[in-house]
Homo-oligomer: A and B are copies of this chain.
Amino acid sequence: MMLAELPPVAVIGEPVSMVDTPALLLDLDAFEHNLRQMAALAERGGLALRPHAKAHKSVAIASAQIAQGAAGICCQKLSEAYPFAAAGVKNIFISNQFAGPKKVAMAVELARQAELSVCVDHPAQVRALGEAAQRHGVRVAVLPEIDVGHERCGVADADGLLTLVDAIAAQPALSFAGIQAYHGGAQHISDWVQRRDVSRRSAELTAQFLRCLEAHGIRCSIVTGGGTGSAEFDVENGVLTEIQPGSYALMDRHYGSLEWLGTLQLQHSLFIAATIMSTARPGKAVCDVGLKSVAVDSGLPEVWQQRDADGLRYVGAYDEHGMLETGGDRRDRLGEPFLLVPGHVDPTVNLYRELVCVRRGRVEGLWNIDARGLSR
């Protein structure tokens, strides 16, 4: 006898309480609000918006962002870009370094399909890519990364940047398109004023690099960077030409816990649907969302209290179990559904096959997480 297919996690039209769990829910009203907020912010500032697909990994979401005026997308890995290129996303920036012949071959393949730009911080990356691109007759735009305070990737000084600009100029198949100036740390500062100040210092550093390029007669058509946490300052600072926020569309407990004093007001649109599946111990319960269904690197998920979650607290994660304190002693809560807000959106989304899109309590659609697990 053949085994039936695994049943779908949700059926369009059913109430959200009937969705199988664990499931990743997307509240479409909140999601659309977030898309409008960020598009309006970028437009007011006269900046291009290039949302980061590493947060959602979903062609449907990228398409919605592009339909609202996004200039293209960022991907963080070459393999991650494949489903977007295959789906017809025309303009893709790999906002991260890569090394080795297998990676270069992927970049060449992507450049056949899309307008590809990539990030570098070492002349050897430029040479390897340039030679392969020329051999295969494709063109790639290259943006050296500068370190604007994050201390991760990127050249630290103008000499390093000029070396990369020269290396790009020496490769006929490559073109210098501008610079990447991303401060990851700035995104996560809770205090709004402090976040603004760090973003401003990072913009000042970027401006120094730009002046040095200008002194050598080099113009940057693109200065890209910024993220969800810094976007409202990036549009004020007047240095970036393009922002690349990712988390803003979905949000998470961490971003939700930052201070937001400006006009950018984002909403939680991403939730994990969970079910209580053991109530054997007084005052405790166990749900079906553990480490394989929610990333805990930025803290545990939080029970969404705007639903009728009645005192539940998520206090610990095992591989497949989530430990709850119930604030009560009712064993009849077995089977009770509730919602969690994940601590960190990116690695959580990466655990799921699809997003269950809901509006006003009903399932409206299922969107694939096309680049799930594509980390090469």
A residues in contact (CB < 8 Å) with B: 1, 3-4, 6-7, 9, 18, 20-23, 54, 76-77, 79, 82, 85-86, 96-100, 102-103, 105-106, 109-110, 112-113, 121-122, 124-125, 145, 147, 151-156, 160, 184, 275-281, 286, 288, 290-293, 295-297, 317-321, 323, 331-332, 334-335, 337, 344, 346-347, 350-353, 372-376
Contacts and interface: CB of A to CB of B under 8 A. Distances in A.
B347 A350 contact: no
Contacts of A20: 100, 102-103, 376
State the oligomeric state as a number of copies: 2
B280 A99 contact: no
A319 B347 contact: yes
A124 B22 CA distance: 20
A286 B376 contact: no
Contact of A99 (B23, B99, B291, B335): B335
A6 B293 CA distance: 26
Contacts of A4: 109
Contacts of A276: 99
Contacts of A297: 291, 296-297, 317
Contacts of A376: 6, 9, 20-23, 288
B3 A121 contact: no
A291 B1 CA distance: 40
Q: Is the interface of A mostly helix, strand, loop or mixed?
A: loop
A374 B351 CA distance: 9
B351 A280 contact: no
8 contacts: A3-B86, A3-B113, A7-B105, A96-B277, A97-B286, A100-B275, A124-B335, A292-B375
Given A102-B20, A297-B296, A320 B280 contact: no
A7 to B, nearest CB: 7
Nearest to A110: B3
B1 A113 contact: yes
A6 B79 contact: yes
A346 B97 CA distance: 28
A366 to B, nearest CB: 14
A317 B154 CA distance: 17
Nearest to A352: B373
Contacts of A335: 99-100, 124
Contacts of A98: 277, 288
Contacts of A286: 97, 152-153
Contact of A280 (B100, B156, B280, B334): B156
Nearest to A372: B373
Contacts of A113: 1, 3
Contacts of A280: 121-122, 145, 147, 153-156, 160
B6 A82 contact: yes
B320 A153 contact: no
Contacts of A151: 281
Contacts of A350: 292, 351
Nearest to A19: B102
Given A18-B102, A121-B280, A122-B278, 17 more contacts: A3-B110, A3-B112, A7-B106, A21-B376, A22-B375, A76-B320, A96-B321, A97-B278, A99-B275, A99-B276, A124-B335, A153-B278, A153-B321, A184-B318, A288-B375, A288-B376, A352-B373
